[in-house]
Amino acid sequence: MAQDAYRPAFDPGAMTDRPHGTPNRVMVLGTPHLSQLPKTFTPDMAEPLVVRLTGWAPTAVAVEETPGIVCHRMRQMPARHAEAIESYCFDPALAAAATGLSVPQANDKAEALLAAWPAEPAPAQRRELAAVFLAAGEPASAVVQWLRLPASEQIADGLLTAPLAAQLERLARAKNETYAIAAKVAARSGLERIWSVDDQSTYMGPEPDQNAYGAAIMQAWDNPAAKAQSAASDALIAGLSAPEGLFALYRGYNAPALADAIYKADFGAVLTEPSEAGFGRRYLAYWETRNLRMVANMREVLGRKPGTRMLTIVGASHKPYYEAYLAQMRDVDLADVTPLLGDAPR
């Protein structure tokens, strides 16, 4: 006999008490992955969006990248994480050779350097910190330091060897939202780093039969909601070359109605996937675990300095989960990104 679901008495999202002092604010920008946009889209085309995001005056920027220290732990268990390491982890070997620092040592050194960071750091200090961030497995933060240097000071020097400088040049030009948007916003906002908050370390035991698993998930995704969402996304991408195309794309990817559409197309579909092995529910467990850890990482960053204004940039499918989980936090106010994405001034 079915029973009513138990509801806990404690619901932090429904409480109305307020923190002492300025609350933390978090603005979530859902984004397409720029690397997947047509070749006609180049990183510099994101400049109008960078300008608007910078105008929000964030004091912290978070991105969908796996922290170097998490990747370091994953590398201790290659049998579990080899595929994820290859796909999601920056290789710090070049910087390790140049600096002599392991990933843990480099993370500690970056913290120490920033703890004693002067108001007006010399270019050599920024180059050193950039090299240390690369060794720490935090290339986005290294690019922030690179972008904060005058063009004449973007050179190889000291720990920042010529190969590392070339690596930074390539990253700074990458067709990737971490570099084309987030790093530029952070640098122009006077920030010293970016926070990598992704986590690809989920492990749920031995992998299932990959052919059967893949077939089950693809069948679940073959549904009317997914087809409608794909068509809407294709239309937005096709309009990128129009004068308002960039903001139309981001308005579409951040529309409140998209949350329900994404759930029906993807996560709700796999929840009801009927395989006896529970392939869909396994996928959903991975997804929810990953998003919980991402939000936990952001919450940890907010604890460093109460009153933080965090801009977090993430693939659009994560945005509904981000906002739902963040809304449960007692010291997080969500900021609506949609007014910022409104029609460009005429």
Q: Work out whether the CA dihedral 297, 197, 193, 341 comes out positive or negative.
A: negative
Contacts for 187 with CB less than 8 Å, ≥ 6 apart: 144, 147, 148
Residues 336 and 249 placed together within one structural domain of the fold: yes
Residue at which a domain ends, from 196, 218, 245: 196
Residues 154 and 240 placed together within one structural domain of the fold: no
Residue at which a domain ends, from 170, 196, 222: 196
| SS3 state of residue 300 | helix
Residues 153 and 266 placed together within one structural domain of the fold: no
Residues 107 and 223 placed together within one structural domain of the fold: no
Residues 81 and 32 placed together within one structural domain of the fold: no
Q: Does a structural domain hold residue 13?
A: no
pLDDT for 2 equals 58
How far is residue 341's CA from residue 335's CA, in Å, rounded to a whole number? Answer: 13
Residues 189 and 283 placed together within one structural domain of the fold: no
Query: If you count DSSP H runs as helices and E runs as strands, how many of each does the chain have, helices first?
Result: 17, 5
Domain that holds residue 259: 21-59+208-346
Q: Does a structural domain hold residue 250?
A: yes
Contacts for 259 with CB less than 8 Å, ≥ 6 apart: 319, 320, 323
Contacts for 309 with CB less than 8 Å, ≥ 6 apart: 24, 25, 27, 56, 57, 58, 59, 60, 335
Domain count, the chain: 2
Residues 45 and 122 placed together within one structural domain of the fold: no
How far is residue 52's CA from residue 288's CA, in Å, rounded to a whole number? Answer: 31
Q: Does a structural domain hold residue 72?
A: yes
Contacts for 315 with CB less than 8 Å, ≥ 6 apart: 30, 31, 32, 33, 64
Residues 188 and 236 placed together within one structural domain of the fold: no
Tens of pLDDT, residue by residue, the chain (346 residues): 457 889 999 999 999 999 999 999 999 999 999 999 999 999 999 999 999 999 999 999 999 999 999 999 999 999 999 999 999 999 999 999 999 999 999 999 999 999 999 999 999 999 999 999 999 999 999 999 999 999 999 999 999 999 999 999 999 999 999 999 999 999 999 999 999 999 999 999 998 899 999 999 999 999 999 999 999 999 999 999 898 999 999 999 999 999 999 999 999 999 999 999 999 999 999 999 999 999 999 999 999 999 999 999 999 999 999 999 999 999 999 999 999 998 643 3
**Contact in structure between 109 and 69 (CB atoms under 8 Å):** no
Residues 214 and 344 placed together within one structural domain of the fold: yes
Contacts for 341 with CB less than 8 Å, ≥ 6 apart: 52, 247, 250, 251, 254
Q: For the whole model, what pTM was predicted?
A: 0.96
Q: Does a structural domain hold residue 284?
A: yes
Residues 52 and 74 placed together within one structural domain of the fold: no
Q: Does a structural domain hold residue 309?
A: yes
Residue at which a domain ends, from 166, 196, 226: 196
pLDDT for 305 equals 98
Q: Does a structural domain hold residue 11?
A: no
Contacts for 58 with CB less than 8 Å, ≥ 6 apart: 27, 185, 186, 189, 191, 309, 310, 311
Q: Does a structural domain hold residue 51?
A: yes
pLDDT for 115 equals 98
Residues 242 and 167 placed together within one structural domain of the fold: no
Residues 164 and 244 placed together within one structural domain of the fold: no
pLDDT for 345 equals 39
Q: Does a structural domain hold residue 102?
A: yes
